[in-house]
Structure 1
Amino acid sequence: MDGNGRWAAKRGLPRVAGHRAGAEAVRAALKSAAKAGIEVLTLYAFSSENWRRSEEEVSDLKGLLGYYLERELDELDRQGVRLLLIGDHTAFGPQLVERLERAVERTAANDRLTLVVALSYGARSEIAGAARKLAAKVKSGLLDPSAIDEELFGSELMTAGLPELDLVIRTSGEKRLSNFLLWQAAYAELIFIDTLWPDFDEAALAAALEEYSGRQRRFGGR
């Protein structure tokens, strides 16, 4: 979800205004995804690299996350949305961690749509973590190295148990993955659009899904 800052700058507004507008776009995207029958929607909300931003901006982002979580939790639950987290959400401090974990617990039985929120997430760190877990099992004698294959490795990732990633949409005209779901995106379709995230709406999602539906997915077979 890229372009909040540029959206605000174009309007002469502070960056936090762009983040607020981006949070509203999340609501629209979630409703549109549910309407389209999407099974899992993953949002890259805060990368492990975002901690390098100014202390003021990080504080604003954390405050917005807590505010919208409290405001939207009842609606998420009513709409049958299950919330999952990937990344290191414990880095956000005890008060926000408690809210996040309470929301995950409350929505655990919902099955209309799974909303995965990536917080303090980085794909390289995720892959390294999976490798460490497998290495520890080998060292302790619980695992034969020859048994390690793609399926076993994937079971140690934070997305274990979720379906294969089909489509990655990146907004704001940037054309890179930025350390997001690198393992999972091996055969995902990639769509890059110029729309800034706060302007991403149902029509933008529908256009991306239409483009996706017209692609031939060969998975390297031919």
Structure 2
Amino acid sequence: MRIDVLTLFPEMFEGVLGSSILKKAAEKKAAEYHTHNFREFSDNKHQSVDDYPYGGGAGMVLKPQPIFDALEQIAAPTLEGKKPRVILLCPQGERFTQKKAEELAREEQLVFVCGHYEGYDERIREFAVTDEISIGDFVLTGGELGAMVIIDSVVRLLPGVLGNEDSPVLDSYSSGLLEHPHYTRPADFRGMKVPDVLLSGNHKHIEEWRQKESLRRTFERRPDLLDSYELSPAEKKWLDEIKSENR
């Protein structure tokens, strides 16, 4: 996957893209990263990329020209005519989810547009991008941190990036439920003990315990997720038991 980022602060991405899993993904040729200062695409001698909003108001608005010109060079269609996904980081956008990450992980190229100032010229939204995404109901000073979050979430799903291919499948939200608890050695730490079932060696019982605890954690922490989750007969029984335990 090729990932391009349009930003006024490309230096912000150096540590993130050059560390941990994202660095390993680049070394394995699973992903390649390109940051572009879209100020360099400005058509005026001062390289300004913002201006006052028509009609007045507070703050400055990102002009369309630098963004359109940058995308014409960076986000060209493939020989097959397929256009890359162009993602605008915006608090008004669609809430980012694991499902969205899985969808984006199937793309060949992603382009992120990170704005600053008061907002974007509306023509950028209407004609230049394919997606508007928000990472939460809050406002940041720019789109860079949001882009980093999405890039990390997407790249770890690419084939061969994680050492264990089952890891992204078992993540919280991937199955529709939160992930079950994990334990490691020692089995008894300061009187706090690992559940006996995990030490039993009975893989069937261990898997059932994990499924039930995943359901329990979801019910206790994110019950809203159960509204769109289709329970199996066994899970329905477990959920009834969990509810009775919590009364």
TM-score tier (shorter): under 0.3
Higher helix share: 1
Give the TM-score of the pair, scaled to structure 2: 0.26
Q: Which has the greater radius of gyration?
A: 2
Give the TM-score of the pair, scaled to structure 1: 0.28
